[in-house]
Amino acid sequence: MTEVREEYFYSKEHDWVKIDGEFAYLGISDYAQDELGEIVYVDYVKDVGDEIKIGEDYASVESTKSTSEVFSLVSGEVVELNEAVEDDSEVINASPYDNGWIIKIKLSETVDTSQLLSASDYEDFLKTL
């Protein structure tokens, strides 16, 4: 079954964000990686030091089936791209919530979590698909 992590927040586009103090990690959900199939490349369109706003895309994720853009759920400054993902993008398939995070952002404002889906909201949403 597809896993949904408790402490994470989600979007209907299957992006997730984990807030860690003044930082946030972003990635794609277990459902998304399963739908995409084996991931071949992650092509970043943002680099360390870039400003990023809610709703802006920061990378495209290419699998053997299709290419999808991934969007930021928070605003701030990019502080790290996940090297593990750049080297071997299949880590997203193996570990979408842990080792397969895609980008790390230093938050410029408090995250309004009411605008995001909680784990239980997201689980309900998945049932409708």
- 7, 22, 37, 98: which one binds another protein (CB under 8 A): 37
Q: In the beta sheet, which residues pair with residue 27?
A: 16
Q: Which stretch, 3-11, 17-25, 34-42, 75-83, contacts another protein (CB under 8 A)?
A: 34-42
Site for another protein in 61-90 (CB under 8 A): 64-66, 90
| Cα maximum dimension of the chain | 38
Site for another protein in 83-122 (CB under 8 A): 90
- For 18, other C-beta atoms within 10 Å of its C-beta total 17
- 23, 40, 77, 118: which one binds another protein (CB under 8 A): 40
Q: Name the DSSP letter for residue 75.
A: -
Least Å distance, CB 40 to another protein, is 4
Q: Verify binding: residue 35, another protein, rule CB under 8 A.
A: yes
Closest CA to 82 of 45, 35, 42, 121: 42
Select 35 or 50, whichever has its Cβ closest to another protein.
35
Phi and psi at 20, nearest 5°, equal: -135, 85
